[in-house]
Structure 1
Amino acid sequence: MPPSGSSQKDAYFLVLEAIDQGDYRPGDRLVESELAERFGVSRTPIREALQRLETQGVLTRDGRSLMVSSLDHNQLGEVYVVPAELEALAARLAAQHAAPEE
């Protein structure tokens, strides 16, 4: 069964928050199996979270490994803005298109 959107989102924010709080510092290597165990989720949502964080520049690839990039607090804060804005937009659109009984 594929992971729910919620578990993917949760894994993403769990890893991002751990980086933001300094649990993982620039240059630290992130390992899927260790993150899955730490956060109590399967490896699939962790893998997808890591791919998303790599796309956003929070992580960089060094061969087969993913490492935390050197970002300042402002740059990392910008990563939080986009998902929050998209969720707000999705909620507004859902409310506009909802049937009266919804």
Structure 2
Amino acid sequence: MGIETGIGLIIGVFFIWIGYIARTKGIYSLLAGFWITWEPVNNDKLGNSIGILFIVLGVIALLTAIFTVWFGAVVGKISAILALIDAIMIFIVIGLDQMGR
């Protein structure tokens, strides 16, 4: 297990922790300072959705760190595509929340 695997595991756990905070405390805890220009319509629903997406991103990071040891760079390319799709979904969820006004 190299330093890259350790960094990947730490980043994965960090994203899972962010997702947990977003789900339990709402999205305001992650968007400190942005509430002046942008306010969620439904704080609980948006926090739950973004929390789940961040947890998925953390699991992708964890699995990438573990499986790259055996399967090489192919896993990194696949997980990069999945992470990009997950990030796009986060922006879509935020946009759909704003359309709910």
Query: What's the TM-score bracket when you normalise by the shorter of the two chains?
Result: 0.3 to 0.5
Asked which structure has the greater RCO (Cα within 8 Å, sep 6+), the reply is 2
Which structure shows the higher helix fraction?
A: 2
**TM-score with structure 1 setting the length:** 0.35
Which structure shows the higher strand fraction?
A: 1
